[in-house]
Amino acid sequence: MRKQSDRITALYYRVANNQTEYPHLDNQMTILLSYAKEQGIDSFALYADIGVSGLTLDRPAFNALKADIEAGRINKLIIRDIARIARNYTLMDNFIIWAQTQGVEIISVTDGVITSPPYADIFTICRSLPKGGGRA
C-alpha cells in the first residue's frame, strides 16, 4: 500500500435520474468542491454515477472508486450524504467496513458523519437511511 502522503481524496456523487442536466448532480458537486476547498484539499479525484440506483453497488464510477481504494490510491472519501454510497443498509455497511480496512476515512458533508478507521458513527448512518421504500 502507498504511503498516506501519496494518496488522494475521492469526491463521489450519484443521482438515480439519468438526466445530465439534473440540478441535484450540480448541487452535489458544488457541495463537495466547496467542502474540499474549505478543508484545504487540493489533490482529489471526482467520481460520478448518473442514472444508477443506490440500491446496487455495481455502478461504473463506484466500481472505479473501489478499484482505486483497493490499489491504495485513496485515503479519504467525501460524499454529500451517506445515501450516496447506498440506499440499502447491508450494502452500505459492508462497503464502509471494507473501506475502513483499506485505511479510508469516509466523510459525509451534510450528515456530519465522519468515519475514521476502524470506527464509524453507525447511529448517524442508520438515521440517514430512507424509511420504507424511499428514493433509489
Cα angle 93, 14, 65; round to 5: 65
Q: 7 near 109, Cβ under 8 Å?
A: no
Q: pLDDT per position in the chain (136 positions), as tens?
A: 445 568 999 999 998 876 555 566 678 889 999 999 999 999 999 999 988 888 999 999 999 999 999 999 999 999 998 889 998 888 988 899 899 899 999 999 988 777 765 555 555 556 556 555 455 5
Residue 76's nearest CA partner among 1, 15, 9 is 9
CATH of the structural domain 4-128, one choice from 1.10.287.1770, 3.40.50.1390, 3.80.10.10, 3.40.50.920: 3.40.50.1390
DSSP state at residue 116: B
Nine-digit cell at 12? 463521489
pTM to 2 decimal places:
0.80
The b-or-e profile of 9-29 (16+ CB within 10 A means b, else e) is bbbbbbbbeeeeeeeebeebe
